[in-house]
A and B are shown apart, each in its own frame.
Chain A
Amino acid sequence: MQPCGPTALIPSESFMPSSQTRSSLPPIESIESVLAGLGAAGYIASRPIATAIYIAQHLQKPILVEGPAGVGKTELAKSVASWLALPLIRMQCYEGLDEAKALYEWKYGKQLLYTQILREKVGTVIGETDDLASAIRRLDAFGDIFFSKTFLEPRPLLRALEQPQGAVLLIDEIDKSDQEFEAFLLELLSDYQVSIPEIGSITAAVAPLVLLTSNSTRDLGDALKRRCLHLHIGFPDEKLEARIIASRVPGIEARLLAQLVSFVQQLRALDLKKQPSVSESIDWARVLVLLHASVLEEQTVRDTLNVLLKFESDIDAARGHVAHLTQKAQQAVAMEG
């Protein structure tokens, strides 16, 4: 028997599973600074939202944001990224999303091409050996060249972990993905690391700030919820909504703004299939500004109702209330003024 001498293992690249060496983003000072920072980025946040960002950043926990469509869940992630000047990495979830599309994929083509091109080179390297065993040992000495980082195509999740300055990772509409994918996310969310069988586990250089959004089309698993902070964003109250619209539609007149907000708030109290959300009221405000409206008038409201409501049945239902609601909105604003 031939003694197996220690083979000189040359690390193919410095891409080895890193040990627990993770630093964090520079800490956010206070909740007020979150409010101010998001405000500067064009996002008017309520206090609970700012608290969530603050806590998430300090505890290094992902936030699961739930709420009706169009209240600014995705926008929140974008604004946080632009405020902290971090890259935003977004992953849209859908049914059938899997590891290969979310985490990484091997560059099969490149691997094949390289083996073809390097065939001769490989031949010369193992050419001088006389038996199979020593040829294999020789090959072993090169490590897993073809399963190294050169041949790895990073997908959003891996990219988020690799950002040297950290990143904001937005996992959008997690409720649309399969249950298996949800389970797959658990490792990432609790330890900010992922496992690639051929390489080992990869830990984030800087833990990214992770936001998950959900429209509650299905109930998420308890395991996922346990790992996240849970933030519910509902429809904003009148004051906040007015501030949001004012920041998004700068040209709007104060009186129109107040009437519009009052009208939308009343509309939400009706029994509708889909209530108008903040994004719809912003669109509506833009439309009204385009039409040079300075006050809310019944006819204009009737003509532009389709901006606010997206179902024929809702528009029909609301039409009967338009006169009444417009009047009430005008009165409410007049009383305040």
Chain B
Amino acid sequence: MSDASPRHFDAPRAQPSEPLRRFLQVARGAGLRVSAAEGIDAARAVDLVGYHDRTLLKDTLALVLAKTPEEKALYDEAFELYFRRAEFAKAASLDNAEAPAHAGQAGAADRADETGSSGPAPLLQLLDSDDRATLASALESAARAIGIEKIRLFTQKNLYIRQILDRMGLREVEAQIAALRASGGADDDERAQRLSARLERLRDAARDHVERALLLYGRAETEQLRERMLKSARLANIDPSQHERIRVLVRKMAKRIATRYAIQRRKRQRGQLDVRRTLRRNMGWGGVPFVTAWKQRRIEKPRVMVLCDVSGSVAWVAQFLLMFIYALTEVLSDIRSFVYTSSLIEVSEILERNGIDAAIAQVTDTMAFGTSNYGTSLEDFEAGWMREVTSKTTVIILGDARGNDTDPRTDIVERLAQRAKRIVWLNPEPRSAWGSGDSDMYRYAPYCTPARVCSTLNDLERVITDLLDRAR
């Protein structure tokens, strides 16, 4: 055996190099969760394979950084975005190498950027000679010098553009242009015009650069802001263009809840000795019970029946409620779902077979947007499925309880409440509207534990968490 220390502790080489460090930041911005340990692994892996082979680099970093199919997709995107940009910069510097005449200028530009000293305005020279490759690399290093990777919000865009240009020596060029204009000579005027046209182009380039940087580094922050807004907005008011985003969000929220509740599925029952397991565990002591094992009870997953109104504005909430519920199959069992307007049908099978997104469109199509009648819908439920409601079933009813002045049939709800573990009524209307006009909410409310307002994603999350908490 050699006494070499394990390779884990090869500390000096585990420091991520500059381009990698930036990429890790980009990856985090894109939504990958990269821990410090994984960052070190990435550095070690890159030390091993180097930067020369792009595909190899991509495969390698994918192994270390992206650990689910979704993360792989995010990673691919971030990698392409980041390394395309890096390549662009490299191409620019290659241009310089091919044109040695400009090498001195490029060096000067870099030096000026590094030290921040103005010296003889290099930007003016660059604009005069219209040396685009050098301009591009000067732009790149100016952006780096002002810390472009700190950009987080799209509102900061103009600020960063201005800072980059200032850093490159915009003021002097502007002063120069003003001076040239003031002098009034035809030559000077022409030069001023040429300069300001090129300056405009530089400004565009800077804008492109900043926008790309925002895409790379700022995405997480912008996403978070948008998520916060979407979670607290009323679902009925959210623009249909945002629905895809909401779907993603719902899935994410559901997953978080699912992992939280999936962990504890067993509960110890103190006081009841598990004889078989105790004997087994104490065999090492000749069966003398030093260590005791207690009987455990498996916690049952809540059985859920969901009744959704799909008329009018409630339909949107119904869609997201169903989506939420079906994303929780890990922690719920036996989900049965029903939709109703004036009559009620079971849709569990359609939902399971076709996936929520497609199925809901299909269901709402077949049910049409009729006027709701709670009485007849509840009759349908009692006739068809009341027998299957047991004391373990939680019934969730989603609806605004506006039956257009029809008989609310609260007696059915009463019988349902007796059979079921409990009824949760979710109403998308604010509490102040309950009981007004044709709303029968207060007639149903006594049988529900509880009746709640549910109009935003945050409300939905609260309802679901409550459902699972009570199951414990």
Binding site for B on A (CB under 8 A): 20-24, 31, 47-48, 51-52, 55, 58-61, 63-64, 106, 108, 111-112, 179, 191, 205, 207, 218-219, 222, 225-226, 228-232
Contacts and interface: CB of A to CB of B under 8 A. Distances in A.
B17 interface: no
Contacts of B3: 21
B7 A60 contact: yes
B48 interface: yes
Interface in B12-51: 33, 35, 37-38, 41, 44-45, 48-49
A106 B72 CA distance: 44
A22 B6 contact: yes
Contact of B6 (A58, A60, A106, A222): A60
Contact of A106 (B55, B62, B284): B284
Given A20-B5, A112-B286, A226 B35 contact: yes
Nearest to A58: B48
B56 A222 contact: no
A226 B63 contact: no
Contacts of A61: 41
A164 to B, nearest CB: 9
B383 interface: no
A228 B37 CA distance: 11
Interface in B408-456: none
Contacts of A63: 63
A61 B60 CA distance: 13
A47 B48 contact: no
A225 B67 contact: yes
B115 interface: no
Nearest to A221: B259
B66 interface: yes
A23 B63 contact: no
Contacts of A24: 7
B434 to A, nearest CB: 40
A47 B59 contact: yes
Contacts of A191: 8
A59 B45 CA distance: 7
Given A59-B41, A60-B7, A106-B284, A21 B63 contact: no
B1 A232 contact: no
B67 A55 contact: no
Interface of B: 1-8, 33, 35, 37-38, 41, 44-45, 48-49, 55-56, 59-60, 62-64, 66-69, 72, 255, 259, 262-263, 283-284, 286, 330
A179 B69 CA distance: 21
A226 B64 CA distance: 8
A52 B68 CA distance: 16
11 contacts: A20-B6, A24-B7, A48-B62, A52-B63, A60-B8, A64-B67, A112-B286, A219-B68, A226-B67, A230-B62, A230-B64
Contacts of B37: 226
Those 5 A-B pairs whose CB atoms lie nearest each other, nearest first: A230-B67, A229-B63, A51-B59, A225-B67, A48-B59
A55 B60 contact: yes
Nearest to B34: A226
A45 to B, nearest CB: 12
A22 B5 CA distance: 7
B190 to A, nearest CB: 57
Contacts of B62: 48, 230
A97 B3 CA distance: 35
B252 to A, nearest CB: 13
Nearest to B264: A179
B255 to A, nearest CB: 8
Contacts of A219: 68, 255, 259
Contacts of B283: 108
B266 to A, nearest CB: 10
B253 to A, nearest CB: 15
A219 B283 CA distance: 35
A22 B41 CA distance: 20
A205 B1 CA distance: 8
Nearest to B72: A232
A64 B72 CA distance: 14
A59 B44 contact: yes
B10 to A, nearest CB: 10
Find the residue from B1, B37, B67 having the highest chain A CB count within 10 A.
Answer: B67
B284 A21 contact: no
A47 B37 CA distance: 25
A169 B48 CA distance: 23
Contacts of B67: 64, 225-226, 228, 230
A218 B68 CA distance: 12
Contacts of A228: 67
A183 to B, nearest CB: 11
Contacts of A112: 286
Given A23-B2, A59-B45, A230-B63, 16 more contacts: A20-B5, A21-B1, A21-B3, A22-B6, A24-B7, A47-B56, A51-B63, A55-B48, A61-B41, A63-B63, A108-B283, A218-B330, A222-B33, A226-B67, A230-B66, A230-B67
A13 to B, nearest CB: 18
Nearest to B35: A226
A222 B64 CA distance: 13
A51 to B, nearest CB: 4
Given A108-B284, A219-B259, A23 B8 contact: no
Contacts of B7: 24, 59-60
A112 B286 CA distance: 8
